[in-house]
Structure 1
Amino acid sequence: MTSIFIFSLTAILEIAGCFAFWIWARENASGWWMLPGVACLIGFAYLLTQIDVSHAGRAYAAYGGIYVVASLAWLWGMEGARPDFWDSVGGAICVLGTLVILFGPRAVAS
């Protein structure tokens, strides 16, 4: 799987997991919402370990841009609030940062 695909699936799981807790805590929904929330967050944590980079911190940093864009897609698709111009600009900047982190040239260790 490519890094972008893994990051995208990871973001969906993280957002869904956090959203389940949001519904429980903020909307006074049943505690049963926490079960799929925990399952999604476990899947998120596992998938993030599958990124092909040399250091965990680099995977987390690169993931951040994909998470931002996925959050804006969730905002629009699941919550019905269309991202505005500034959301779109910010998301594009974050994706650019992700691409630089993932594909920027690295010095060869001697």
Structure 2
Amino acid sequence: MLVARSVVLFLSAALFEIGGAWLVWQGIREHKGVAWIGLGVIALSIYGFVATLQPDANFGRILAAYGGVFVAGSLAWGVIADGFRPDRWDMTGAVICLVGMAVIMYAPRGQ
């Protein structure tokens, strides 16, 4: 149950961080305006809060593992939101990052 909760939290964090960054990008780079930037800043703030809900108490571990989720999630966001088509190297890199994330977060550790 803890792993399932952790995975849901990582996916939620990715949604808010990547979505927030995309909104800021759209507001500035695509000239969509200050409302988009403001929504992006709010989403990024929510990401910061969601990350604290992880069951592991180690900040460095959580953020390091989240990096793998961020890499794969960013590629997925690009596919969905911008029509980006990752190549085999993008996909290979994302898989490597997700495997690294799983090792960092879910490897058995001695107490």
**TM-score normalised by L of structure 1:** 0.92
Q: 2:98 aligns with which of 87, 95, 99?
A: 95
CA contact (8 A) 1:8 1:67 kept: no
Q: Distance in 2 between matches of 1:11 and 1:89?
A: 19
CA contact (8 A) 1:62 1:98 kept: yes
Aligned-residue offset at 1:101: 0.5
1:104 aligns with 2:74: no
Give the match for residue 68 of structure 1: 71
Deviation string for 1:21-53 (max 9, x for gaps)?
Answer: 111221122111122112211110000000111
CA contact (8 A) 1:3 1:52 kept: yes
Identity %: 37
Structure 2 residues not aligned, in runs of 5+ = none
- RMSD between aligned alpha carbons? 1.2
Which consecutive segments of 4 or more residues in structure 1 shift more than 4 A? none
Aligned-residue offset at 1:54: 2.4
CA contact (8 A) 2:24 2:37 kept: yes
Structure 1 residues not aligned, in runs of 5+ = none
Aligned-residue offset at 1:106: 2.1
Counterpart of 1:107 in 2: which secondary structure? coil
Deviation string for 1:52-78 (max 9, x for gaps)?
Answer: 112111000111111111111111111
1:11 aligns with 2:14: yes
CA contact (8 A) 1:62 1:101 kept: yes
AA aligned opposite 1:31: V
Q: Which protein has the bigger helix share?
A: 2
Aligned-residue offset at 1:88: 0.5
